[in-house]
Chain A
Amino acid sequence: MLSAPAQSPASAHPLDEVLQQVYLTPAATTLDVQVDVVAGAMVAPGFARSLDTDGDRRLSAAETTAHDARVRAALAVATDGAPAELVVTGSVYPPYDLLAAGGGVITVRAGAPLSASAGAFAVTDGYVADQKTRIQMSVLVAADAGRSASSVRRGHEGRAIAVGLARDAAPAAAGTEATPGEGTGTAMLEALREPLGSPWALVALIGVCALLGALHALTPGHGKAMLAAYLVGSRGTPRQAVALGAVVTVTHTGSVLLLGAAVLAAGHYVMPSVLVPGLKVVTGVVVLVLGVRILRRRLAGAGRRSYGDGRGHAHERFDADERFGVDEAGVDDRRSRGEIPSRPDELVVAHRAGGPYLLQERTRPAPVPAGGGRRELAAMGAAGGLIPCPEALGVLILAAGLNRTALGLAMIVAFSAGLGAVLIGLGLILVTARDRFTDVRPGPLLWRLPIFSAALVVVLGVVMTVSGALGMTGA
């Protein structure tokens, strides 16, 4: 006979307790929670009365809502160690008399965001009825979620559960270790599995992919901060913003295709988990070098500007005068209309500099020199798009696995186009806003903004390089 120490005895029968069964389902982008409450026949009358606060032997909407809130308040969800907001999405209550007799089940449904890249979640349940209460939390598997529990640990008499998550075998079998992305990537993966009913369905799918790419570009990452800093630091123009976004799009699409093809052709030797950090290092170094170059140029320019060296500013002054179309008198006119600040110290500075240099500096950014600028821009754009989105990579590999490679390619191109469109749009907004900003808010901080931005590019380059290196070493 067995000699192992006994576990805590399963001593109670549902007849004499309130049993709350909690079903936790890690779905594609959410944690779905179903709470079933059953009162055993011996305790059901008291339990039903505790819900029926007005004592009319019916459960009103207010009373069920109050109990929903009780159930919700007792639950705490954390994903990857951070608290997650749990929202009740619905509930079903049996008639009062049935509940009081020990029949019927109360079901409360709720959901919390659970990103596709989440590695774990934990739930605690402090629900207590007036009667003896037992909690059973269980983890379910959602069909087509692409992930499931890899470990389940319980504690506190079943009131706490910690669940590790792992991707399902299906994507891994296709030879990738790329994680499904946020909701957009998962939606594309699901769409890829669905048959296309008509050419219009294909058009709609491509459109949706472009839209998903656009939405995806708004999520954290994708080098937006780096590109923004570069555009400001290099005093980029709208044309350069467009070019930068286009380069990012082309590079991103190309990197997905190349890496995807490499994984498909030699999945045993080409590991995205190693390649992607490697690409991060390359990107980081490129960004770092570019950042240093821009910073040096900006610092040199700032030195000239600070000490009123008018050399090299003739072009700027010409542009400024041309743009505003004014002379000193004209400036006075604009000042009188409130279009130019009239603070005495600015006027002093302007006169001390031997002309409206302050005005000129803030009204016309210095363009990046033509030859080096194109190379810089191409390098920065390539750096921005070099690291492929895992979700796009997953779509390509799954498409190959499903023998729908052409469709997968089209979806990725559409996805990248949508992503690039947003980056271009953001770049245009940025450079336009910067110009407008400089029209109305001059000052020492403002003209140092390109320096700060260039410094930010350097910092981002360092961070990316270190992050990639750590990723390669598995730290």
Chain B
Amino acid sequence: MRRLAGSAVLILALTTGCGDADDEDTTTGATPNAAVVSAAASAAAGNVTGGTRDVMNAANAFLASLGDTERAGVLGERTTANLSQWSNLPDQLFKRAGLRMDALSAEQQGAVRKILQAALSSDGYAQLTGITTGDGVLKDSGGMDLGFGADHYWIRILGTPSESEIWTIQYGGHHLAVNLTIKGDVMTMAPTLWGAQPASYTTGGTTVAPLRGETDAAFAVMDALDDKQRDAAVLDTAITEIVLGAQQDGKTLADEGVPVSTFTEKQKELLMALITEWISPLTPTQAQSRIELAEDNLDKTWFAWSGDTTEGRPVYYRVQGPSLIIEFAHQQGQGANAGGVTHIHSIYREPGNDYGAELS
């Protein structure tokens, strides 16, 4: 029953089509409803993708559009050092490698977007562009400029795009680090950092909140817990920042919070909806198996919470199980660029499977 419900959520969220290359400029928001509307429209257009072959073809097309120097700059070996060279920090505070979008031609930028559209669901791509567009909003708002903006995102390919060998696409910059590792017809996005600042903004008359779904679904879980479960879920002292962020590869957190094994069926469905939010950036083909894996491991999964229990206040939550670790920290700061509850750091990892370690 729960699996059927989870699948239904997944189908609604993921039967998506990729928008065309101009989507980044016409983002309509990544709220759950917006995502579903977008997904439905895309599905109706028959644009469903998700095969890793499509991703490989898109990557090769992008590489073919580059000159030798550019190609050498964007390609790298799949070494531990290269794989871990990402951060949530802006460019002045962290040295990235690869090619930055603002250094590419419009055609090359379009080729990069096609890679991302092939690798991600419509929901995932909308989330990504919502974050990058938001960084432009942040830059335009003034304050400290430490090297960020909508076009300050880097593409890098580690390994050689291949039908059989393992290879990784990295796309990231300020508040974003997407690591997509592919081997054969399997793809993982662990680890991927999703951030947002501002957490919500308005552009073209539309409110965009790239991580609203991950916020609302978590509050729904917390709201459904009884007092005893909530007491167990809430951590003793405040956690304000994600624990397994950049440079913390290969780590596995000890179980904390409330065990999901104590949840009712309804509570488990709500948690699966939250987990689906986190996995839905993958294409339906890739997401389905991971959602089923998470569902199979629900009784070994834990849910932890820190901070207020009303929306609009700083919160931190964690979902951890054998197949995934999710951390989400919505922070409140002071000073330039950091007023109000408007700044999110979050991470998705799979224990033991950073950069597809289990695929190697």
- List A residues at the B interface (Cβ < 8 Å): 1-2, 4, 6-16, 19, 21, 23, 36, 41-42, 98, 101-105, 134, 136, 138-141, 143, 148-149, 152-158, 163
Question: Once the chains bind, are B307 and A7 in contact (CB under 8 Å)?
Answer: yes
Known: A13-B334, A155-B236. 12 other contacts (CB 8 A): A2-B310, A8-B237, A9-B314, A10-B332, A12-B334, A13-B240, A15-B334, A15-B337, A23-B248, A23-B251, A103-B92, A139-B256
A2 and B335 in contact, given A9-B307, A103-B94 (Cβ under 8 angstroms): no
Question: Once the chains bind, are A134 and B240 in contact (CB under 8 Å)?
Answer: yes
B253 partner residues in chain A, CB cutoff 8 A? 138-141
Q: Shortest Cβ distance from B101 into chain A, in angstroms?
A: 21
Report the separation of the CA atoms of residues A4 and B338 in the bound assembly, to the nearest whole angstrom.
Answer: 27
Question: Once the chains bind, are A16 and B338 in contact (CB under 8 Å)?
Answer: yes
B74 partner residues in chain A, CB cutoff 8 A? none
Number of residues from B at the complex interface, CB < 8 A: 47
Question: Once the chains bind, are B333 and A149 in contact (CB under 8 Å)?
Answer: no
Report the separation of the CA atoms of residues A41 and B89 in the bound assembly, to the nearest whole angstrom.
Answer: 10
A136 and B334 in contact, given A23-B251, A103-B89 (Cβ under 8 angstroms): no
Q: Shortest Cβ distance from B202 into chain A, in angstroms?
A: 22
6 residue pairs A–B, Cβ–Cβ below 8 Å: A10-B307, A13-B240, A13-B334, A23-B251, A139-B256, A143-B252
Question: Once the chains bind, are A12 and B329 in contact (CB under 8 Å)?
Answer: no
A157 and B238 in contact, given A10-B331, A41-B146 (Cβ under 8 angstroms): yes
* Contact bitstring B309-353, A, C-beta under 8 A = 1, else 0: 110011110000000000001011111111000010000000010
Question: Once the chains bind, are A101 and B313 in contact (CB under 8 Å)?
Answer: no
A136 and B241 in contact, given A10-B331, A13-B333, A13-B338 (Cβ under 8 angstroms): yes
B52 at the interface (CB under 8 A from A): no
Question: Once the chains bind, are A152 and B254 in contact (CB under 8 Å)?
Answer: yes
B103 at the interface (CB under 8 A from A): no
Question: Once the chains bind, are B333 and A6 in contact (CB under 8 Å)?
Answer: no
Report the separation of the CA atoms of residues A158 and B238 in the bound assembly, to the nearest whole angstrom.
Answer: 7
- Smallest Cβ-Cβ distance to A135: which chain B residue: B237
* Contact bitstring B222-261, A, C-beta under 8 A = 1, else 0: 1100010010001111111101000110011111100000
Partner of A154, one of B237, B247, B333, B338: B237
Q: Shortest Cβ distance from A134 into chain B, in angstroms?
A: 7
- Smallest Cβ-Cβ distance to B246: which chain A residue: A105
Partner of A12, one of B240, B306, B315, B337: B240
B144 at the interface (CB under 8 A from A): yes
Partner of A1, one of B223, B230, B237, B248: B223
- List B residues at the A interface (Cβ < 8 Å): 89, 92-94, 144, 146, 222-223, 227, 230, 234-241, 243, 247-248, 251-256, 306-310, 313-316, 329, 331-338, 343, 352
Q: Shortest Cβ distance from B157 into chain A, in angstroms?
A: 25
Report the separation of the CA atoms of residues A98 and B332 in the bound assembly, to the nearest whole angstrom.
Answer: 24
B227 partner residues in chain A, CB cutoff 8 A? 4
A153 partner residues in chain B, CB cutoff 8 A? 236
Question: Once the chains bind, are B254 and A6 in contact (CB under 8 Å)?
Answer: no
- Smallest Cβ-Cβ distance to B91: which chain A residue: A103
Question: Once the chains bind, are A155 and B237 in contact (CB under 8 Å)?
Answer: yes
A101 and B93 in contact, given A10-B315, A11-B332, A13-B343 (Cβ under 8 angstroms): yes
Question: Once the chains bind, are B308 and A136 in contact (CB under 8 Å)?
Answer: no
Question: Once the chains bind, are B93 and A10 in contact (CB under 8 Å)?
Answer: no
Question: Once the chains bind, are A7 and B306 in contact (CB under 8 Å)?
Answer: yes
A9 and B236 in contact, given A4-B230, A103-B92, A139-B254 (Cβ under 8 angstroms): no
Q: Shortest Cβ distance from A325 into chain B, in angstroms?
A: 72
A157 partner residues in chain B, CB cutoff 8 A? 237-238
Report the separation of the CA atoms of residues A9 and B329 in the bound assembly, to the nearest whole angstrom.
Answer: 12
Report the separation of the CA atoms of residues A148 and B351 in the bound assembly, to the nearest whole angstrom.
Answer: 15
- Smallest Cβ-Cβ distance to B315: which chain A residue: A10
- Smallest Cβ-Cβ distance to B240: which chain A residue: A10
Q: Shortest Cβ distance from A376 into chain B, in angstroms?
A: 51
A138 partner residues in chain B, CB cutoff 8 A? 243, 253-254
Report the separation of the CA atoms of residues A251 and B171 in the bound assembly, to the nearest whole angstrom.
Answer: 64
Partner of A6, one of B93, B223, B308: B308
